[in-house]
Chains A and B, each alone.
Chain A
Amino acid sequence: MTTEIKPINMPKWGMEMSEGDINAWYFAVGDKVNAGDDLVDIETSKIINTVTASSSGILRAIIGAQGETHAVGALLGVIASAETSDADIETFIALHTNAAPKSEPEAAPEVVLTEAAPAPIAAPQVSSSASKLAEGQDDSLVAASPVARRLAAEYAVNLNNITGTGRHGRVSKGDLEAAVVAAGGRLIGNTSNTKGSGVAQYGDDSHVKATPVARRLATQLGINLLECRVSGDRGRVCKADVDAVAALKQIPLAQTDSRATAGTGNTAVESQSISGMRKTIAARLQSSKQTAPHFRVHIDAEIDALLEVREQINHSNSDAKVSVNDFIVKACASALMKVPALNVQFDGEQLSYFSNADISVAVAIDDGLITPIVTGANHKGLADISNTIRDLATRAKLGRLKPDEFQGGSFCISNLGMYGIKQFDAIINPPQGAILAVGTGEQRPVVKDGTLAVATVMSLCLSSDHRIIDGAVAAQFMSVLKGYLEQPATMLG
């Protein structure tokens, strides 16, 4: 239906996110928006990310202006068809914010970003426009029927605010809907039901005084005149009164153009989301390559001892299937503890050191690449690392990672060894300071004590951001890493 009004809400990226700053809107009020378009950049204490449009239409209103901070779930804007009346939009906004409907939200620039404050101490300023019914503590302990709980989520209502009339005060569907109506809200339901139901619900309205236009309009829209306010002259229901009820019931006032959603929409959603990821990869890597002066250091590590330990672990431990890559993650984590200057993030101005090694592992997926994070890898054993990566990689390929599982990280590993790649360079994954590129382990001739021997050798290449990491630091890291890989037992110490 083209008359549907779609809210743009503050997303929840990860468990800790409670609010976000509006960084920039890509569209202005009145612009046409296609499903999948980048709409608005939101900044949290951890990341900046882009909200994309879930449906096509006209951006009819912006409630969350640039620079403002809004709570998770708060209404930021409204997308609807061109035909949807302003009254409908205002009612919708009023319902979802409990604020005055005509507040010209985009003209409220007082809260403009005052300083580029580092994110961790974001002001706990909750959006004044959050719905009253939505506020409150965690409501998971409130007694409510399954239907009521689901509806509460849909209405964004906190169950703490509802008085239950069921046995033992349990909140029923009826309780919830009554509260929503009482707060001036409109019930979710199919609008076709409301059409024509007026007569049955309110009884005969033939005696109600109304203007001829109002009476005809009411008949057409299936609105009972008894439902309407009386604001016309001589105590009559006027057209505006009928319009108001129609708006409340989301009944379309004008014939809508049914072609609007057909055609381009469907296939575009799919391809947009793919290209969205590709766009992100392109933008991030280009910016990394341009802004971070990469320098590389190479080293070879003999991994025969490592392979033997791996065999022993896998043989004795049925709960784990440890791969060479798992060893590399573990070895990197240990090496980062020894050389903390590499365990960093750099945003161009501020350099952050981390006490734990949160290691991103590059995983190839159908339409791109993603880097899920093994958090606190320095505290995890090999089996734990292995099972964590198995889980992360499985879900990465299914597209089921949560944002906080792939955003962040203090170091990155990209391993192309399984393709037989001997050696390669990787581009730093910003805001990290370095990335390790891992080649395949293969038997090579090596010279030991002046004689030729055969060993399983793996080539490693570290790309570092020279703005913050010096050559000697990178070299030191690689030599420590080589030590751990060649003598895995030393990682235990």
Chain B
Amino acid sequence: MVVGGGPGGYVAAIRAAQLGFKTALVEKQHLGGVCLNWGCIPTKALLRGADIAHTLKEAERFGFTFDNLSFDIKKLVQHSRSVAGKLTQGVAYLMQKNGVTVIDGTASLADKCLLDVDHNGTITQYRATHIILATGARARNLPSIKIDGDSVWGAREAMTPTALPRTLLVIGAGAIGVEFASLYNDLGTDVTLVEVENRITPAEDSDISALAEKAFKQRGIKVLTNSIVQSLDNSGANTVALISGSEGQQHLEFDQVILAVGITGNIENMGLERLNVASQRGFLQTDGFGKTNLAGLYAIGDVAGPPWLAHKASHEAVICVEKIAGVEGVKPLNKDQIPGCTYCRPQIASVGLTEAQAKAAGHSIRVGRFNLNANGKALAINEAEGLVKTVFDEHSGELLGAHMIGPEVTEQIQGFGIAQQLEATEHELAQSIFAHPTVSESMHEAVLDSLGIALHQ
């Protein structure tokens, strides 16, 4: 049995059914989970709106002028919700097609291999030899600042606004924070982005962070790094934030605040403490195949710890189920091969180790860089702001990491991902022919640069 209908849970259910398991999936609210309903997909629908806003601003350069331009954010939100709705139905269809029984309700573990499912107060007990928890995670609060759905939004409220705030404070410059900062800035809001670390997107390579910060500042986003929001005062019409940073403390006023300081696993009220299921910092502990310390219990996706990505959850789902079924050749999750994508403008995509991480891990490395302002296609579409950076192990030629910022890099990163999976070295990549004119030629050039033979810079 699978608990949770997100990209971890529903994929686990499908794979299990394919392998011949009698499979049921318990979901308390929406099939598709956060990803389809309140995460990846609806935000991408909104960000498409932001893209259009940006394109319209640039239109004059391409010869278009127009007036009477108007924007109704309600319509954009409506589009976003309808996409989410469609995909949820799609998941329901997939469940039906694969013969997965979907059970409505909230599950908790009554004992080993025993689930209580509460549906509107009626509890039904189910027995299953193998139970996979894919209960996901939710936005984390700070001790002093909590999401209230009113003046302080979490991601969920931030993607269903009824009006556009004039001024916006985004706390946290991880993937979620920068996406909302980018979105609202494109739609015309005055955005301030606060990050406690010394750079935005601190999980990315520092070169990428630097370029993203430069791009954000050019767009008029106020970026405050090394800064902490000490407190929020909601007593007046607006929210007053006390922000302390390297330049001392300052009071700033905002219409709206978005809190995006990470997430915490949904592990409470499921009977896990009573059965001594091991957890650490709010997430369940598992082996490389999702197995917990409790017999017959597995955990995948966000609830099993970082990185909190839908595709990581789906991959864990497959390897977890295949491991149980004894499929030959299943490999444990390799966290260095999970691509990460951030859909701010310009987009950020990466896989593997950053330069700093590679050095810290003791590799002697060979780094290649290629700037998009020397890429014909990027110039042609007027989005020549960006960088491709590759990190190779000097001895083995292994692609340790690849980091990209620029237009549609999220669609390109899997090229490096495949190379990594096949253990291609810089030579195989250098010998591959990249089509012209594409933005992805920069991937090739970055590899060539790592060999000192870049052709176009």
Listed in ascending order, the chain A residues whose CB lies under 8 Å from chain B are 146, 167, 314, 318-321, 386-387, 390-391, 393-395, 397-401
| Known contacts A167-B427, A318-B276, A320-B295; A395 and B325 CB within 8 A of each other | yes
On chain A, the residues within 8 Å of B295 by CB distance are 318-321, 386-387, 390
Listed in ascending order, the chain B residues whose CB lies under 8 Å from chain A are 19-21, 112-113, 129-130, 275-277, 293-296, 324-327, 422, 425, 427
Whose C-beta in chain B lies nearest to the C-beta of A398?
Answer: B20
On chain A, the residues within 8 Å of B326 by CB distance are 391, 394-395, 398, 400-401
Q: Among the listed B130, B294, B327, B427, which residue makes an inter-chain contact with A319, where contact means beta carbons less than 8 Å apart?
A: B294
Q: Among the listed A146, A167, A320, A398, which residue makes an inter-chain contact with B21, where contact means beta carbons less than 8 Å apart?
A: A398
Q: List 7 interface pairs A-B (beta carbons < 8 Å), by A numbering.
A: A318-B112, A318-B275, A318-B294, A320-B295, A386-B295, A394-B130, A394-B324
On chain A, the residues within 8 Å of B113 by CB distance are 321
On chain B, the residues within 8 Å of A395 by CB distance are 325-326
On chain A, the residues within 8 Å of B21 by CB distance are 398
Q: Among the listed A314, A387, A400, which residue makes an inter-chain contact with B325, where contact means beta carbons less than 8 Å apart?
A: A400
Whose C-beta in chain B lies nearest to the C-beta of A322?
Answer: B295
On chain A, the residues within 8 Å of B293 by CB distance are 318-319
A398 touches B275 (CB 8 A): no
Bound-complex Cα distance A395 to B326 (A): 7
A321 touches B296 (CB 8 A): yes
Bound-complex Cα distance A319 to B278 (A): 11
On chain A, the residues within 8 Å of B112 by CB distance are 314, 318, 321
A398 touches B294 (CB 8 A): no
Bound-complex Cα distance A167 to B424 (A): 12
A146 touches B422 (CB 8 A): yes
On chain B, the residues within 8 Å of A321 by CB distance are 112-113, 295-296
Distance to closest chain B CB from A79 (angstroms):
27
Bound-complex Cα distance A423 to B327 (A): 37
Whose C-beta in chain A lies nearest to the C-beta of B397?
Answer: A167
Whose C-beta in chain A lies nearest to the C-beta of B16?
Answer: A398
Q: Report which residue of B295, B324, B327, B425 has the largest number of chain A beta carbons within 10 angstroms of its beta carbon.
A: B295
Bound-complex Cα distance A239 to B277 (A): 76
Bound-complex Cα distance A400 to B276 (A): 32
Q: Among the listed B20, B275, B422, B427, which residue makes an inter-chain contact with A397, where contact means beta carbons less than 8 Å apart?
A: B20
Contacts A387-B295, A394-B324 supplied; 9 other A-B pairs, CB < 8 Å = A318-B293, A319-B294, A321-B112, A321-B113, A390-B129, A394-B130, A395-B326, A398-B326, A401-B326
Bound-complex Cα distance A372 to B20 (A): 18
On chain B, the residues within 8 Å of A393 by CB distance are 129
CB-CB nearest 3 A-B residue pairs? A321-B112, A321-B295, A398-B20
Bound-complex Cα distance A391 to B291 (A): 13
B20 touches A399 (CB 8 A): yes
Bound-complex Cα distance A231 to B36 (A): 70
Whose C-beta in chain A lies nearest to the C-beta of B21?
Answer: A398
Bound-complex Cα distance A395 to B293 (A): 21
On chain A, the residues within 8 Å of B277 by CB distance are 318
Bound-complex Cα distance A186 to B206 (A): 53
Bound-complex Cα distance A401 to B325 (A): 9
Distance to closest chain B CB from A265 (angstroms):
23
Bound-complex Cα distance A99 to B243 (A): 84
Bound-complex Cα distance A398 to B277 (A): 28
Distance to closest chain B CB from A122 (angstroms):
26
Q: Report which residue of A318, A393, A397, A401 has the largest number of chain B beta carbons within 10 angstroms of its beta carbon.
A: A318
Bound-complex Cα distance A375 to B113 (A): 25
On chain B, the residues within 8 Å of A400 by CB distance are 19, 325-327
Whose C-beta in chain B lies nearest to the C-beta of A314?
Answer: B112
Distance to closest chain B CB from A321 (angstroms):
4
Distance to closest chain B CB from A326 (angstroms):
11
Distance to closest chain A CB from B216 (angstroms):
41
Whose C-beta in chain A lies nearest to the C-beta of B294?
Answer: A318
A394 touches B129 (CB 8 A): yes
B325 touches A394 (CB 8 A): yes
On chain A, the residues within 8 Å of B425 by CB distance are 167
On chain B, the residues within 8 Å of A167 by CB distance are 425, 427
Bound-complex Cα distance A25 to B295 (A): 47
On chain B, the residues within 8 Å of A318 by CB distance are 112, 275-277, 293-295
